[in-house]
Chains A and B, each alone.
Chain A
Amino acid sequence: MAADPALKMTRKEFVSDQDVRWCPGCGDYSILANVQRVMPELGVPRENVVFVSGIGCSSRFPYYMNTYGFHTIHGRAPAFATGIKASRPELSVWIVTGDGDGLSIGGNHLLHTIRRNINTQILLFNNQIYGLTKGQYSPTSKVGIKTKSTPQGSIDHPVDPIAFAIGCGATFIARTIDVDAKHMQNILKRAHEHKGTAFVEILQNCPVFNDGIWEDVQDRKSRAKASLVLEHGQPLVYGPAENRQGIVFKDGIPSVIDLAEDDDPIERGVVVHDEHPEASSYAGVLATLQRPDFPLPVGVFRAVEKPTYEAMLQDQVDSATAERGVGDLSALLHSGDTWRI
Chain B
Amino acid sequence: MRIRYLALEVLRQLKNTRNLVFTFALPVVMLLIFGSVYGSGGQVDDSTHLPWLAVTTIQMGGYGAMMSALAQAFTIVNERSLGWNRQLRITPLSGAGYLTTKVAASLAVAAMSIVLTFGVSLIVFHTPLGVGGWLMAGLGLWLGVVPFALIAILIGQFAKPEFAQPLFMVTFFGLAIFGGLWVPLSIMPDWVSNVAQIVPSYWLNRLGQMGALGSGDALAPAVVLMVWTIALGALIVWRYRRDAARA
- Chain B binds chain A: no
